Chains A and B, each alone.
Chain A
Amino acid sequence: MPHGYHGRVLHVNLTSGELSIEQPEEKFYRKYMGGSAMALIYLLRDMPAGVDPLSPENILALFLSVITGAPISGQSRMTAAAKSPLTGCIGDSQCGGFFPAEMKFAGFDGIVIKGRAAKPVYLWLHDGQAELRDATHLWGHVTGEVQEMLRYELGDDRIEVLQVGPAGEKGVRFAALINMCSRANGRTGMGAVMGSKNLKAVVVRGNQRPSIADPATLKALARWGVTQLPQSDIAGLSKYGTSEVIGLNNADGGLPTRNYTSGVFEHYEKINGPTLYETLLRGATQGQQDRMGRDTCYACAVRCKRVVEQTSGTYILDPTYGGPEYESLATLGSYCGVHDLAALCKANENCNRYGLDTISCGATIAWAMECFENGLLTKEDTGGLDLHFGNAETVVKLTEMIGRREGFGDLLAEGSARAAQRLGRGSERFLITSKDQEAPAHMPQVKRTLAVIYAANPFGADHQSHEHDPAYAPYPERMAQIGLHDPQPPLTLNAEMVRFALVTQHAYSALDSLNVCQFVYGPAWHLYSMNQLTEVVRAVTGWDVSLYEIMKVGERRLNMLRAFNAREGIGRERDTLPERFFTQPLKGGPSDGYVLDREEWQRAMDTYYAMAGWDVQSGTPTRPTLEALGLGWVADLLGL
């Protein structure tokens, strides 16, 4: 019997209603370990190139990893992958919460979903059993309602529900998958894909916990994490949540403000982590927020998740929908010039209620606001809405309108790139997108290797796909574990920093393959180092695994993601950055005047492809590179 996983992958054909279970051999688990490294096997092998992402031909794959559900912090995460309706490239997104661990306990390591049901259905997985059930009565309901209805229907308050909200049903291109009403596979529109299949929810419950190979060692590792947490460099994330990063990035001149025209927000203190902690966190008025306002994922000691509550005032805040992360506060907040914290919590709540990616939602609204400020959009276009930067009421209203595809929200539901195409009027010059995905709230002008990764990342601009520049120098011991020894001065984008970007991208790709939290495990400031992650995998699986092997899994996943795009005819020509990054210096604060040098960036991109073993002209993995990773079958698929 394997340790850590079941050896069972569920295949669901929604068109025919057929369910079947595949039992892959151990090599499958050891070579790919989980996440989209596993998912891409099915997407590459079983889906032809060129399918419409919202058609039945698209495949949605949900994968855990060999350690998901083990009793240690930071392991309860799940990857969703499919062709993205937002980018046309590979879509890939991770969620946390209790759903991933519970899916493992329900008896499955992964789910591969094809086709489209004739009417709405949900998938019910429990103790190794799988069945499709009618979801007609759930269709059109928001996430909180659906969770309650399913708990009642199944007679169990401990089920975990992964679902699409009305946004996913209506094909909002940045619709998310939501679990616990507050955790999201946010990016790349995986909710729109699941909605297009008439699959309203995946519901899981079970007691089939895989065995742990070395429980004593795993327990010791778990205890070490609990003991070290208060002294660790994630102590702030633990207490203040990721919203702590508002203050840190603003101090660095890297908090995107008014659609990336500045890296400092004059009102940042009104929306940062400590303010949230002191004011709107549930229990804050009684000083009980540590007990009532901090939530967690399965078996995680960090408790970084927020729960906000407000029972009176302009914005009533329902704790069912959790609370905002850094990215949500920044994209709906400073990105849009908004500093009303209660309004931002409400906008975040609406995103969770309707099932929207807060990053693309906020950044798309910011794009529209800049268009409005410059006269490219008027109240005639917006149905009377005032879209000046800083209008909190408008941001809250638009989150609902986008979620319902109502009025002006219908245009924004397409994402900013398609909206600009439809609007015309020169509005594309205000886009902050790479591969048509809106950029997160970490600024390449300030942390230069983001300029390479935002452009080159196969699923569009992403801030969780490599380590950020400021962490190279302060953590020499941990960086040495992955072969990095030579930190460079700030704002440098030379060959060594490109190497740092690529090597840490492989590390982060490994984290996403193992589906572990990138605050708890990583190569720098994280609670556990990459070597300790290796110890965790060894203890759970019993394999004599090495960090080299884990890094190779990350590199393998990255090449598979890139190969998916290549097969779609997508290569270097779409590895672009917003024009503004090269032409419009930032205004104010420590980053005043910062702008990217186009020639330096292009040289860095050339170096990146060459280091990755990809063709420098096309950006496509070469046959030797794929074969070196044991991916000759992918090279065959690409016809290399």
Chain B
Amino acid sequence: MRVSVHLHGILRERLPSAARGRTTLELPESATVGDLLATLGIERRVIVAVNGRTHIPASHTLQEDDQVVIYMPVGGG
């Protein structure tokens, strides 16, 4: 299944700079958020939003065409 992924902040550097943090990934059926993070090699503490719902847990099973946004829990500024 294919999911679209948008990485924010320093996480963008997982992808080529021309991608500007956006990519589409092919994942096995019943892949979870945790599987997606492992595929991207993200070991940092992150917040994941799926289809506009924030704070989705790593155990959540993804669906075809899901839109996933990943960002850091950094506050302040």
Interface residues of A, Cβ cutoff 8 Å to B: 233-237, 239-240, 242-245, 247-248, 251-253, 269, 273-274, 325-327, 442, 447, 463-464, 467-468, 470-471, 474-475, 489-490, 518-519, 524-525, 589-590, 592
Distance, CA A28 to CA B18, complexed state (A) = 56
Contact of A470 among B44, B75, B77 (CB under 8 A): B75
A590 and B54 contact, CB distance less than 8 A: yes
Distance, CA A557 to CA B52, complexed state (A) = 40
A251 and B49 contact, CB distance less than 8 A: yes
Q: How far is the CB of B11 from chain A (nearest CB, A)?
A: 8
Q: 6 A-B pairs, CB-CB below 8 angstroms? A: A233-B72, A251-B8, A251-B47, A326-B77, A471-B75, A474-B73
Q: Mark B34-54, 1 if CB is under 8 A from A, else 0.
A: 000000000011110100111
Q: Which residues of A contact B11 (CB under 8 A)?
A: 236
Closest to B12 in A: A274
A237 and B74 contact, CB distance less than 8 A: yes
Interface residue tally on B, bucketed by range = 20 to 34
Q: Which residues of B contact A253 (CB under 8 A)?
A: 54
Q: Which residues of A contact B14 (CB under 8 A)?
A: none
B71 and A239 contact, CB distance less than 8 A: no
Q: Which residues of A contact B20 (CB under 8 A)?
A: 269, 274
Q: How far is the CB of B70 from chain A (nearest CB, A)?
A: 8
Q: How far is the CB of B4 from chain A (nearest CB, A)?
A: 14
Q: Which residues of A contact B47 (CB under 8 A)?
A: 251-252, 470
A252 and B71 contact, CB distance less than 8 A: yes
Distance, CA A235 to CA B12, complexed state (A) = 12
Distance, CA A592 to CA B54, complexed state (A) = 12
A490/B55 contact (C-beta < 8 A), A248-B71, A475-B45 known:
yes
Q: Which residues of B contact A247 (CB under 8 A)?
A: 8-9, 71
B77 and A327 contact, CB distance less than 8 A: yes
B10 and A240 contact, CB distance less than 8 A: yes
Q: How far is the CB of B53 from chain A (nearest CB, A)?
A: 7
B52 and A589 contact, CB distance less than 8 A: yes
Number of A-B contacts (CB under 8 A): 98
B8 and A474 contact, CB distance less than 8 A: no
Closest to B6 in A: A251
Which of A252, A442, A518, A524 counts the most chain B CB atoms within 10 A?
Answer: A252
B76 and A235 contact, CB distance less than 8 A: no
Distance, CA A442 to CA B77, complexed state (A) = 9
Q: How far is the CB of B69 from chain A (nearest CB, A)?
A: 5
Contact of A242 among B44, B45, B52, B77 (CB under 8 A): B77
Distance, CA A464 to CA B11, complexed state (A) = 24
A525 and B54 contact, CB distance less than 8 A: no
Distance, CA A471 to CA B74, complexed state (A) = 7
Closest 5 pairs (CB-CB, A-B): A236-B10, A468-B75, A326-B77, A242-B77, A474-B45
Contact of B76 among A236, A240, A243, A468 (CB under 8 A): A468
Q: Mark B2-34, 1 if CB is under 8 A from A, else 0.
A: 000010111110000000110000000000000
Q: Which residues of B contact A237 (CB under 8 A)?
A: 74, 77
Q: How far is the CB of B55 from chain A (nearest CB, A)?
A: 5
A233 and B55 contact, CB distance less than 8 A: no
Q: Which residues of B contact A233 (CB under 8 A)?
A: 44-45, 72-74
Q: Which residues of A contact B12 (CB under 8 A)?
A: 274
A470 and B55 contact, CB distance less than 8 A: yes
Distance, CA A325 to CA B77, complexed state (A) = 7
Q: Which residues of A contact B72 (CB under 8 A)?
A: 233, 236, 248, 525
B75 and A590 contact, CB distance less than 8 A: no
B45 and A525 contact, CB distance less than 8 A: yes
Closest to B45 in A: A474
Distance, CA A374 to CA B73, complexed state (A) = 36
Distance, CA A74 to CA B58, complexed state (A) = 34
Distance, CA A590 to CA B54, complexed state (A) = 7
Q: How far is the CB of A592 from chain B (nearest CB, A)?
A: 8
Q: How far is the CB of A581 from chain B (nearest CB, A)?
A: 18
Q: Which residues of A contact B74 (CB under 8 A)?
A: 233-234, 236-237, 244-245, 248, 471, 525
